[in-house]
Amino acid sequence: MSAAKAGVVTVSYGSEGVLNGFFSSLDVASATPLQAVVADNRPEAGAAVRELAERYGVTYLPMTGNLGYGGAMNAAVRSLPTDIPWVLVSNPDIEIQPGAIDELVRVGESDARIGAVGPLVETDGEIYPSARAIPSLRMGLGHALFANIWPSNPWSRRYHSDNERPPRERDAGWLSGSCLLIRREAFDAVGGFDDRFFMYFEDVDLGYRLSKAGWRNRYAPSATVMHAGAHSTDENSTKMVLVHHESAYLFVASKYRGWYLAPVRLAARIGLAARAFLVTRVFNRRR
């Protein structure tokens, strides 16, 4: 039987530049032993990642190729002993503040219906809005179409309305996959991340499916992590914009899947394609 109360999994794709900070932060994140795994989506260049993992006593798990965030996370979770009740899934460019994992576990154990717990995520001195409602079709399309050309539009204001000051503990529709603690029972019950999402929206989808299955997503700002930013996507902004919009459509199509909702899916496809076109044009002009 494992002595660890929580496991920790992260995914690397050329992430050796940030993993040192992540691994070292685990030493003070919990007063109890942690069992950590790094899934390497770029194993052909993973010597430095393997070396870092060995230095910190982290299990190195090479993937067969780039499985994306959700696919690699699923593999890493499966590699943990099944009797570990909680799993922290995290980006590699996160630094966990002292005691944060213990605090997340405490909040999670306060109610057996809590399936996931998200910390306060701080990026560049600002609080990232990491706990949100599941977007409705109207709100999502309005935000997608007008956020860049009409920032004060009512749909974007509603989308950002969950970014409360000061932050308080509350339930949310979904929690940012950059760092969240998941009850292993709940994760297994819903089948983990949907690995059709290569990148983006896998956390929205997970939160939605957890809620549908009767689990609570709980935001706990009493636990804090620091997020350095999306280091693995900076060099491919245009490509990532397209991936982001494809994932957004996949979520909409999964949520509104009935045959009679085909017009809804078509409207979402057109709206997201239009937004992707506009955003990529902006990126290309800046180059």
Over residues 203-262, the pLDDT tens digits come to 999 999 999 999 999 999 999 999 986 554 444 576 777 777 777 777 777 777 888 778
Residue 148: per-residue pLDDT: 66
Which residues sit opposite 61 in a β-bridge? 39
Which of 81-90, 143-152, 197-206 is the least confident region? Answer: 143-152
Whole-number Å distance between alpha carbons of 257 and 265: 8
> Is the pLDDT assigned to residue 52 strictly greater than 50?
yes
Amino acid of residue 196? R
How confident is the prediction for the chain on average, in pLDDT?
86
- Strand 59-62 to 174-175 pairing: unpaired
Tell me the helices (H) and strands (E) count for the chain, helix number first: 10, 12
CATH class of 6-135+161-229: alpha beta
CB-based contacts of 125: which residues, under 8 Å, 6+ apart? none
Question: Is 179:116 a contact under the CB 8 Å cutoff?
Answer: no
Least confident of 74-88, 248-262, 264-278: 264-278
pLDDT confidence of residue 235: 46
Q: Which residue has the higher pLDDT, 172 or 144?
A: 172
How buried is 275 (Cβ within 10 angstroms: 0-12 exposed, 13-18 middle, 19+ buried)?
buried
Q: How confident is the model at residue 139 (pLDDT cuts 50, 70, 90)?
A: confident
User: For the ranges 8-12, 42-46, 119-123, 274-278, which has the lowest average pLDDT?
Assistant: 274-278
CA 260 to chain centroid, in Å, comes to 31
- Return the half-sphere exposure (C-beta side, CA atoms, 13 A cut-off) of residue 137: 18
Model pLDDT, residue 153: 76
The average pLDDT across 126-138 equals 82
When pLDDT is cut at 50, 70 and 90, the band that residue 199 belongs to is confident
**What is the rounded distance in angstroms from the CA atom of residue 175 to the CA atom of residue 224?**
14
Looking at residue 163, its pLDDT comes to: 65
Q: Which region among 15-29, 122-136, 214-228 has the lowest average model confidence (pLDDT)?
A: 122-136
Most confident of 68-82, 134-148, 243-257, 268-282: 68-82
What is the rounded average pLDDT of the residues 135-156? 70
Residue 192 has pLDDT above 80, yes or no: yes
Q: How far apart are CA 89 and CA 102, in angstroms?
A: 14
Give the percent of the chain with pLDDT over 70. 83
Confidence band for 6, pLDDT divided at 50, 70 and 90: very high
- Dihedral sign from CA coordinates of 227, 233, 237, 241: negative
Residue 26 has pLDDT above 90, yes or no: yes
**DSSP states along 56-88:** HTPEEEE-SS--HHHHHHHHHHHTS-TT--EEE
pLDDT at 133: 84
Task: Break the chain down into helix, strand, coil percent, rounded to 5.
Answer: 45, 20, 30
| Residue 286 pLDDT exceeds 60 | no
Residue, of 152 and 116, whose pLDDT is higher: 116
Q: What spatial distance separates the first Cα and last Cα of the chain, rounded to whole Å?
A: 55
Encoded tokens for 92: 């590699």
Top-confidence residue, 109 or 235: 109
Whether the CB-CB separation of 84 and 5 falls below 8 Å is answered with yes
Which three-class secondary structure state does DSSP give residue 227?
strand
